[in-house]
Structure 1
Amino acid sequence: MTTGGPNFTDQTLRMVAHPSVGGAGLRVHLSNLRGTTPLAVGAVSVALQADRATAADGSQRAVTFSHKKALTIPAGQEVVSDPVPLSVRAEQNLLVSLYLPQATSSATWHSDAFDVSYLSKPGDHTADAEDGNYVAATTSWYYLSGLDVVAPAARGTVVAFGDSITDGYNTPASVYHRWPDDLARRLAGPHPSAVVDAGIGGNRVLTDVPNIWQGVSALKRFAHDALAQPGVRTVILMEGINDIGNNAGPGGVPLTAQQLIDGYRELIRQAHAAGVRILGGTLLPDKGAGYYSESAEAIRQAANAWIRTGGQFDGVVDFDQALQDPSDPAALRAGFDSGDHLHPNEAGMQAMADAVDLRLLNR
């Protein structure tokens, strides 16, 4: 989650959440982490989605926080709801509705959710079963930072951590064909693993992005966005192409491969200190994209060589090998290219998910 989203007054937001595992109960996470003023929340509800902003019959539940329906979240803070008794299947969409009675500022949001969210007319419409009072739509989430599913049979959580490629850029909204979605389907079964998508478009390993909605660096957000996820056992890290493409070394100096590798070493250190395994994902080819140059390609190749052979990660997922063009390994294979030569299409996302050796996740 980042800051810089739009402001709301006396309005209800109805957002779609797509769980990777099923269970018999839920907890809702709300965040004012990037906010600069307290956030007043008048009411929250959760329901199974029937269609668009319409709830399935009989599925609506009021959500409470410390047994209260209304709350104020201080700037820089987050809250987790009381347990909500609602059964949900894996990949069964949920509607989380949030009423904001007072003017907001500096929204904590996820700008590129690639899922449709609905905005209401004025008023508290959290209890509305139908969608008639929801009059606008967007593809961002606001203040909703997580949804826990109580799933006793699950084997824990895998966190896919990265940038816009992990975020799902250039994949269609509301179809759930990002590579973490595809990986979750591979991990389905009697004892599934949950998959959390912690991708943020434009994000970098070493430095904050000047555009505030693209977030603080991976080094700063890793502990919160990856290691603090409930039940996390393994992180799959694939990030660095934005550092390379922007030649963004620490302190404004030109980037070197060693700086990027040192960033990876620090993320590995943080993961291991938390008792979490971390897999290194090689960086995808990008020849033909605006980021590409011979000097940038040399850094990508050096980073990938270290990921493969450095022996510091607990395992390697060779995304580069899986998606490169056999006749030109510096470029994406045409059948996997969304058209910008940087982001994979749906077939490419599936190929990324298929490149993960599931044995690395079940140790």
Structure 2
Amino acid sequence: MSTISSTTAVLAMMTLSAPAVAESWTPAWMASPQAVWSDTTVFDTGLPERIAGATIRQPLTLGFPAQRLRLVLSNIHGTRPLPIDAVTLARSIGGAGTEDPLPVQFGGASSTVIVPGAQVVSDPIALPAVAGARIAATLTYGPDAVAEDFHWDARETSYLIDADRPAPKILGETPARITLSMVLSDRPAQRVVIAMGDSITDGNGAPMDGMQRWPDFLAAALAEQEIAVVNAGISGGRLLSDGMGRSVLARLEHDALAVPGADTLVLLIGTNDIAWPGSPFAPQEAPMSLGRLQAGLMQVAARAHANGMQLILGTVPPFAGALPDTPMEATYWSPEKDALRRDLNDWLRRADFHDGLVDFDRLLSAPDDHIRLNPSYDSGDHLHPGAEGNRAMAGAVADTLVKGLEE
């Protein structure tokens, strides 16, 4: 055989054995995983007593359109295999009701087992949907399943049901996400924005089942511009230390840098780093310092920029009088903590290591009292914005993002 013929044969074999061209997938919805905690004296998990053999339906709103979808299921905090016996995806018609359910497969199989510390991605599901469409994923767990991985403050009701059918009997409800951590769309985006932060980003203070967190408003505003926005907030989150989830520095890789197509990170963090020390959340913890916060934020910037991502930071909103009528009221805020918050914000306004700044402090503070939330934006606990505050936040972020695109 001639050299040319041999080369042609080898190239033909390589072509036949080469994998299909990789497809591009865009995040259309997200709930950052947290480890399930055992100490429920401060916060109950909200989980069912057990998930072994249970069927749980989780409605959600897509923030980006699609022709096909893929589900991402998480056991990254698990210490044992998590068996999933069956999964379906359907259009949600309100409450636990669905229509036109489709089976979800994993490598062609109807069931899967997620090994400890891992996640699985489903095969594509043909379910055309517009941005804002309501869908529901229904998971039926194996007889040995144990919940070790969840998202606590989903701001959305999920349902423990008697069977995976369109009109099931509801056996219980939970405000948490269980196992389901992301939905991917086959439609490419011009930009993929990760909104990361603590409970203000996660949506505590927004109405349940209302889709009125600030990333929800932002996703709705930008979808027509082919910009995808997903929410990577965790209530109780901190920059430097683990709280009700891993610190931002610890989860940055999984929840932002490794998200398909992610090119912009909008980060609002620092409230709990400042407020928790000396409170019932962290009674023995030393007060936070400006230097530690500065170093942590600059490290986020270094890692984001090394991965080709833009970083938009937010100033920390005021929180005087936060959490009234709770054990946290007396120690969560203090004049010293507020001075640190203002020093951090002043430094952020002068800094040049980020790619943009959203001044949530000035946006949300009361006109005549800059240490407190504007009553018009306050959810009522003097810490978390309500729906109107979230709408204003989304508008400010959108302005910053659009300005960045134009420059």
Question: Fold match, TM over 0.5?
Answer: yes
Deviation at 1:162, TM superposition (A): 0.2
Which TM-score applies when normalising by structure 1? Answer: 0.92
- Spell out, residue by residue over 1:301-337, the C-alpha distance to the aligned partner (whole angstroms, 9 max, x if none): 1111122111111100111111111111111111111
Equivalent residues in 2 for 1:53-64, closer than 5 Å: 53-56=96-99, 59-64=100-105
Deviation at 1:194, TM superposition (A): 1.1
Asked if 2 retains the 8 angstrom alpha-carbon contact of 1:183 and 1:353, the reply is yes
The whole-number CA distance in structure 1 between the counterparts of 2:102 and 2:405 is 35
Equivalent residues in 2 for 1:251-270, closer than 5 Å: 252-270=285-303
- Give the one of 199, 212, 215 matched to 1:180: 215
* Runs of 4 or more consecutive aligned structure 1 residues displaced over 4 Å after TM superposition: none
Equivalent residues in 2 for 1:228-239, closer than 5 Å: 228-239=258-269
Higher CA-based Rg: 2
- Spell out, residue by residue over 1:247-272, the C-alpha distance to the aligned partner (whole angstroms, 9 max, x if none): 389x9443101101111011111101
Partner SS state of residue 58, structure 2: strand
The whole-number CA distance in structure 1 between the counterparts of 2:270 and 2:297 is 9
* Residue number in structure 2 paired with 1:168: 203
1:217 is the counterpart of 2:247: yes
Q: Bigger shift: 191-200 or 99-108?
A: 99-108
Partner SS state of residue 194, structure 2: strand
Partner SS state of residue 129, structure 1: coil
The whole-number CA distance in structure 2 between the counterparts of 1:353 and 1:325 is 18
Asked if 2 retains the 8 angstrom alpha-carbon contact of 1:27 and 1:84, the reply is yes
- Give the one of 26, 34, 47 matched to 1:2: 34
Deviation at 1:23, TM superposition (A): 1.2
- Give the one of 147, 158, 182 matched to 1:146: 182
Asked if 1 retains the 8 angstrom alpha-carbon contact of 2:52 and 2:146, the reply is no
* Residue number in structure 2 paired with 1:325: 366
- Give the one of 207, 210, 214 matched to 2:241: 207
Which TM-score applies when normalising by structure 2? Answer: 0.83
TM-align CA RMSD: 1.6
1:352 is the counterpart of 2:382: no
Partner SS state of residue 352, structure 1: helix
Asked if 2 retains the 8 angstrom alpha-carbon contact of 1:34 and 1:106, the reply is no
Percent identity reads 37
Deviation at 1:188, TM superposition (A): 2.8
Asked if 2 retains the 8 angstrom alpha-carbon contact of 1:48 and 1:88, the reply is no
The whole-number CA distance in structure 2 between the counterparts of 1:54 and 1:322 is 39
Asked if 1 retains the 8 angstrom alpha-carbon contact of 2:157 and 2:176, the reply is yes
Asked if 1 retains the 8 angstrom alpha-carbon contact of 2:53 and 2:145, the reply is no
The verdict on how the C-alpha distance between 1:361 and 1:188 changes in structure 2, with shifts beyond 3 A counting, is: farther
The whole-number CA distance in structure 1 between the counterparts of 2:382 and 2:179 is 32
The whole-number CA distance in structure 1 between the counterparts of 2:369 and 2:128 is 49
| Equivalent residue letter for 2:178 | Y
- Spell out, residue by residue over 1:66-119, the C-alpha distance to the aligned partner (whole angstroms, 9 max, x if none): 111111111111011111111011111111011102232342101110111010
| Equivalent residue letter for 2:242 | D
Asked if 2 retains the 8 angstrom alpha-carbon contact of 1:41 and 1:98, the reply is yes
The whole-number CA distance in structure 2 between the counterparts of 1:362 and 1:228 is 22
| Equivalent residue letter for 2:295 | D
Number of aligned pairs?
A: 349
- Give the one of 52, 60, 63 matched to 1:17: 60
1:98 is the counterpart of 2:139: yes
The whole-number CA distance in structure 2 between the counterparts of 1:350 and 1:151 is 26
- Spell out, residue by residue over 1:16-46, the C-alpha distance to the aligned partner (whole angstroms, 9 max, x if none): 1211111101010000001111001101110
Asked if 2 retains the 8 angstrom alpha-carbon contact of 1:171 and 1:177, the reply is yes
| Equivalent residue letter for 2:240 | L
| Equivalent residue letter for 1:28 | L
Partner SS state of residue 160, structure 1: strand
Partner SS state of residue 355, structure 1: helix
- Spell out, residue by residue over 1:332-352, the C-alpha distance to the aligned partner (whole angstroms, 9 max, x if none): 111111111110011111111
Partner SS state of residue 384, structure 2: coil
The whole-number CA distance in structure 2 between the counterparts of 1:247 and 1:256 is 11
Partner SS state of residue 60, structure 1: strand
* Residue number in structure 1 paired with 2:26: none
Extract unaligned runs of 5+ from structure 2.
Answer: 1-32, 37-44, 323-328
The whole-number CA distance in structure 1 between the counterparts of 2:140 and 2:240 is 36
* Residue number in structure 1 paired with 2:20: none
Equivalent residues in 2 for 1:266-285, closer than 5 Å: 266-285=299-318
The whole-number CA distance in structure 1 between the counterparts of 2:219 and 2:82 is 33
